[in-house]
Amino acid sequence: MTDLIDELPGEPMMWVLIVSELLVFGAGLAALSAMRLTDPAGFAEAQAHLDRAGAALNTVVLVTSGFLAVLAVRAAEAEREARKRACLAAAMALGVVFLVIKGQEYAAKSAQGIDWETHAFFTFYYLLTGFHAAHVVAGIVLLGLVAVLRDPRATETGAAFWHMVDLVWVLLFPVVYLIR
Amino acid sequence: MTRDPLLMAWAALVTLSLAGAGLSLVPAGSVVSLLALSLALLKGRIILHRYLGLAHAPRWRRGFDMVLAGFCAGLAGLALLI
């Protein structure tokens, strides 16, 4: 058992958090998929109001940010502090770009008079994407914290959280934006 | 010349993401739903293997791969019922 846990890269408690978060988002995505069956036309009509291009762009933004986070871990392990901080700063900046694009999407919905009570689809949409956006904010803060610590293990843990945020978005994107 | 697996992973993720963006431009249907979930599965595996480092933890990698594939299969089943 210890051998199995030792095989896991990084901090085991971060993996507990990652699995917990994946289960929560997975349940939400499964619930949305099941609810869609009760009103396929209504869900498709509601989904047509979403900005698919913006969401697709955000996928590229997040996977690139994740790439920079891995580079930061490598730099931390090589004791290249300046490079580590630069990579983390760039990863955080892309996190902010993600939030700006997401904010524009929310603003567009609001301008159309759409809120979370407009249709069941939008209840799921705001819950899932809003909860995910909150994780992006938390991830940016976490990356900022590990940027000032001279501890490769801390950098790896912060990056692992960021990759979880990335992974959730990759699964959320098709269910919320594409399947109809 | 050896290519950095991390760089290859990022390039693959961007390519798959652009393919996903392309799916948003075509009419909806079962094929689009299955393709979208397949792309998500591939991207998820790359993030787990290369970004989160499970490529070096074969037992965990197999477990996560199985659960992720099962989850995507479940979503695909629901999508096919639409």
If we measure between CA atoms, which residue out of A49, A34, A39, A21 comes closest to residue A171?
A21
Helices vs strands, H then E, count in chain B:
3, 0
Domain span including residue A43: 14-178
pLDDT at position B82: 82
CB contact under 8 A, A163 and B51: yes
pLDDT at position A151: 94
pLDDT tens profile B46-62: 999 999 999 999 999 99
- The stretches in chain A having pLDDT less than 70 are 1
Asked if B49 is an interface residue toward chain A (Cβ–Cβ < 8 A), one would say: no
Is residue A58 domain-resident? yes
Q: Show me where the domains of chain B are located.
A: 5-80
Give me the number of domains chain A comprises: 1
How far is Cα B24 from Cα B21, in angstroms, rounded to an integer? 5
Is residue A8 domain-resident? no
- Give me the CATH number covering residue A87: 1.20.120.80
pLDDT tens profile A25-39: 999 999 999 999 999
Contacts of B13 (CB under 8 A, 6+ apart): A63, A66, A67, B43, B46, B47
Q: Indicate if the pLDDT at residue B24 is higher than 60.
A: yes
ipTM above 0.90, yes or no: yes
Is residue A101 domain-resident? yes
Is residue A59 domain-resident? yes
pLDDT at position A113: 96
Asked if B59 is an interface residue toward chain A (Cβ–Cβ < 8 A), one would say: yes
pLDDT at position B30: 93
CB-nearest partner of A56 from B21, B33, B81 = B21
Contact between A91 and A69 under an 8 Å Cβ cutoff? The reply is yes
pLDDT tens profile A105-139: 999 999 999 999 999 999 999 999 999 999 999 99
Q: Indicate if the pLDDT at residue B13 is higher than 80.
A: yes
Q: Indicate if the pLDDT at residue B1 is higher than 60.
A: no
